[in-house]
Amino acid sequence: MAFKVSNETKVGALAAIAITFLVLGYNFLAGQGSFFSKKYTLNAILPDVAEISKSTPVLFNGYKVGNVTDVELLKPDGNFKVYFVINEDIDIPEGSSIKVSSALLGGKALNLLFSKNTKLAESGQTLNSTADTTLMESVSNVLKPLNAKINSIVTSLDSILANGELNRSLANFNKSLKSFTRTSDNASVILEQSMPKLSNIMGNVESITQNLKNNNEKISLTIANLKTTTDNLAALKLKETVDKANETLAQISGIMDKINNGEGSLGLLVNDKSLYNNLNNTAADLDKLLKDLNQFPSKYIPVPFTKGQRNKAIKKSQQANP
């Protein structure tokens, strides 16, 4: 006898299957895993769960590996226990931690930070947690030193404006600019007036340069000939001078040899000591004679005297030359 299934039973079975697939599809779409991956359920204690709710992603190096499944309030400390499931087939070391981070466009995410422990964490284990600074706090930390610098600059500007230094500086700059403008105008006028002369000068310079360029070979040849002529003249004059000097030295050497050998009057005079002594004695006698002549001229020049004057002069001369 064949077993006959009623229509009510068929409808009930189909409804049960549909409900099962509906639940599984909802969990899949909610990010609670796939049908064929193993689930790794963990939790962490957080002091604040702002913007953390079911389906908040769990990331590892920016890659989504799971999501939050439930958030529980712990009494009486007021902390929160966050449950999350790991859908990817990864091994989490024991001692790993969860770090809450803020997304740039809003919202939160849980980042897995692996430890260096070789032992693996078991399913249902509680991980350590570290709170990340919010986006506003990060921006505030960056802006704090910038704000201090801006305040310092504003204070300096206020001081400058209060003392009138900026106005004086602007006035001095204005004077300098006017002076520069006048100088530039004067220079322009002078340059404009001097342009014809400058043009003539440049034309003359260009003409001279062109002539030098055209006669470069001739100029080089002339300089070479002049150098040769100068060298020859210098060599000729130097040779004549050296020859004359040698001739003069030879003559002086001959004269000195004759003097040393006693030849000639000068040689006899230099080498004969007796002649030298006689000349000295003669000079001494002549000196005495001149002195006596000067004192007693009457002895040598006849002068009319009286008899008494003559006897007195002779007697005086005898006393002077005993």
Query: Domain end: 132, 161, 185, which one?
Result: 132
Q: Are residues 64 and 101 in the same domain?
A: yes
Q: Are residues 64 and 45 in the same domain?
A: yes
State the alpha helices, DSSP H only, in the chain: 7-29, 135-163, 165-214, 216-261, 264-271, 273-295, 307-320
HSE, side-chain direction, 13 A CA sphere, residue 158: 6
Q: Are residues 279 and 252 in the same domain?
A: no
Query: Domain end: 98, 132, 166, which one?
Result: 132
Question: Is position 180 within any domain?
Answer: no
CA 158 – CA 170 distance, rounded (Å): 16
Question: Is position 144 within any domain?
Answer: no
CB contact set of 126 (below 8 Å; sequence gap of 6+): 42, 43, 44, 45, 81
Q: Are residues 31 and 105 in the same domain?
A: yes
Q: Are residues 32 and 127 in the same domain?
A: yes
Query: How many domains does one find in the chain?
Result: 3
Question: Is position 157 within any domain?
Answer: no
Q: Are residues 262 and 312 in the same domain?
A: no
Q: Are residues 244 and 303 in the same domain?
A: no
List the domain range (segments joined by +) for residue 263: 216-271
Taking the C-alpha atoms of 114, 116, 120 and 122 in order, what is their torsion angle to the nearest 10 degrees? Answer: -50
Question: Is position 72 within any domain?
Answer: yes
pLDDT of residue 138: 54
List the one residue out of 79, 66, 133 whose CA is nearest residue 102: 133
Q: Are residues 38 and 119 in the same domain?
A: yes
Q: Are residues 61 and 91 in the same domain?
A: yes
Question: Is position 4 within any domain?
Answer: no
The tens-digit pLDDT sequence of the chain (322 residues) is 455 667 777 777 888 888 887 877 666 555 554 444 456 788 998 888 888 888 889 899 888 888 899 999 888 888 899 999 988 888 888 888 988 887 656 678 889 999 898 888 888 888 888 766 555 555 555 566 777 777 777 777 777 666 666 677 777 877 888 888 888 777 777 877 777 877 788 888 888 888 888 888 878 888 887 777 777 666 656 677 778 888 888 888 777 777 777 666 666 666 666 766 777 777 777 887 777 777 777 666 665 555 565 566 666 666 655 5
CA 182 – CA 70 distance, rounded (Å): 82
Q: Are residues 226 and 307 in the same domain?
A: no
Partnered with residue 281 across adjacent β-strands are none
Q: Are residues 262 and 287 in the same domain?
A: no
CB contact set of 317 (below 8 Å; sequence gap of 6+): 296, 299
Q: Is 38 helix (H, G, I), strand (E, B) or coil?
A: coil
Cβ atoms of residues 57 and 111 within 8 Å = no
Cβ atoms of residues 128 and 95 within 8 Å = yes
CA 1 – CA 9 distance, rounded (Å): 19
Question: Is position 8 within any domain?
Answer: no
Question: Is position 162 within any domain?
Answer: no
Q: Are strands 80-86 and 126-131 parallel, antiparallel or unpaired?
A: unpaired
Cβ atoms of residues 94 and 116 within 8 Å = no
Amino acid symbol at 118:
T
pLDDT of residue 35: 47
Question: Is position 59 within any domain?
Answer: yes
Q: Are residues 222 and 301 in the same domain?
A: no
CA 314 – CA 141 distance, rounded (Å): 142
Residue with tokens 């000195």: 256
pLDDT of residue 83: 92
pLDDT of residue 295: 76
Query: Domain end: 86, 106, 132, which one?
Result: 132
**First and final C-alpha spacing in the chain:** 213
